[in-house]
Structure 1
Amino acid sequence: MPDAKQPRGEFSLIAQYFSTLDKSSDVVLGNGDDGAVLQLKTGEELVVSVDSMLEDVHFPRNSPPADVAYRAVAAAASDLAAMGARPLAMTLALSIPHADDAWLSDIRSGLSDAVSDFDLPLVGGDLTRGALSLSVQVMGAVPSGQAIRRDGARPGDLIYVSGSLGDSAAGLALIEGRLTGDVQAADALRARFWRPFPALDLGVSLRRQATSAIDVSDGLLADLGHIAEASKVCVYVDSALIPLSQALKSVVSTEQALSWALGGGEDYRLCFTLPESVPPPEGSIRIGCVESGSGVRCDAAGEIDGYRHF
């Protein structure tokens, strides 16, 4: 992050870079007061989630600020997709070492793209001085009783994912210089890391159909473990069914691609279970089934584990 030219106050920075991203029919009162005011439709419930991203933990130092901002919002919005919630609004707690106009302008650009792409107006937050981090709280709405939870999977259900897996882990390896590949494939994989696109429309369409859902953030097997635990079932994953992109297969071995697909995380795809009688949404890929028992079974799991903070 570039050095600041001169010190300025928190509120002037907020007014300059973050004050006009709060427009939506669901927003009664946006930025500028002690709190935002949102309106729910009759018969709706509120869904709330928060995600934090820290420099050198979730993204490398000196990363492109617009991409950092977009990725932070996408990661948080992916939780709304997993719950089947329509987006309402978000808040951002941003900590920065110092204020730099060019850097903040790029952050605003990434936020503006995310506001538009995910229909998530920025209605408030906080700006502080400190180590670079972004904490995004997202709010969504679901009809009463229709939130998709983790505890509804039943033996006999089939397991699906919304797209290819492992691309984000490969993208990070390319960004950090641990991997090389042809230009077209490398660009596609880096884009999957920097600009994931949460399956918000798919999540809404799965209300009253999916018995459980989760977004793939910590790694497919780790995230399915949460469904298995909450639903008190065993989930079986067939490695031969795992979708791998052509870009990923062109830069690493099949073994490495599968390892990243099962444990790499941060793909922000939707993983969900459906009764066998329910036709899957177009574009979804079946990867396994739900069985009686507990835990996660996968023929290729080996030592694969998901992301752990501690």
Structure 2
Amino acid sequence: MFVCCAIALAVSGCALGKKKLVPESLTTCRELSREGVTAMETGQWNRAQTLLTGAVEASPSDAEARRNLAEALWQQGSHRDAVVHMETAVRLDPRHAPTLVRSGEMLLMVGAGERAMQRAEEAIKVDPTLAGSWALRGRVYRQQGELNRGLADMQQSLRFAPHDSGALLEVAQIQHELGQPQRSLSTLHYLLDVYPPGEEPQQVLWLEGLAYDSLGRHQEAVESLQAASVRGEPRAELLFQLAQAEQAAGQRDAATVTLQRAIAIDAGHEPSRVMLAQLQEVEISAGQTILR
């Protein structure tokens, strides 16, 4: 609307001064950025990286081009290069809270926890209503072992994004780590309501099973862990914990089979090997008792 009015006024003879021309380098940057974002949206990460590198070269001070290039590099596994470009985007646009948060997330992933905390604090000051700002600081606290402070920040993030599945899962995980299985289970049930039946993520069902087991509800633990084990390829640790729940529920034969599956996946999984040997020893002793 503003551009149309300006053109109309210029044509009518109003003396508003000369129209400011957009530098060719900026035009090139914007065009390459648009093409790069389209490539990202379709999963063409190599093409996106090439296009966005060209955009940054055309206009090195364009914060949006830097942000997009950082994401393309991150998806390609070039994490440290991605951090460099995202940090540059922060310097170019220090009042953009989502950039501060994304920079902090990347820093945390590469092990720079103190710098990630700095970004979280900056983001909270810029926009205290942005859920991601609180979630980032909560994750940093959790990584530092300050679980109660981490839980408080994650819960604060849920005030602004109550259906954020990632934040809900982290809240449940921290509650489990704090030895609060009932609270963890309540959070997980709220989270599970988000998903259609049969589409619950493995990690959520896994944690639900552990919460049930901690509460002594072993049969329910078995059911949750079994459901988790068929959501994609199970890890040996998941099967080991399923076997523990089966044994606690009195299903020793099932536990033996589950442990054999775990060892088939990871022959070096020592807890599974030890538990299987113990179960086999019990079976041998029981057989000898019957013979006597």
Greater relative contact order (Cα < 8 A, sep 6+) = 1
TM over 0.5: no
Higher strand share: 1
TM-score, normalised via structure 2 length = 0.23
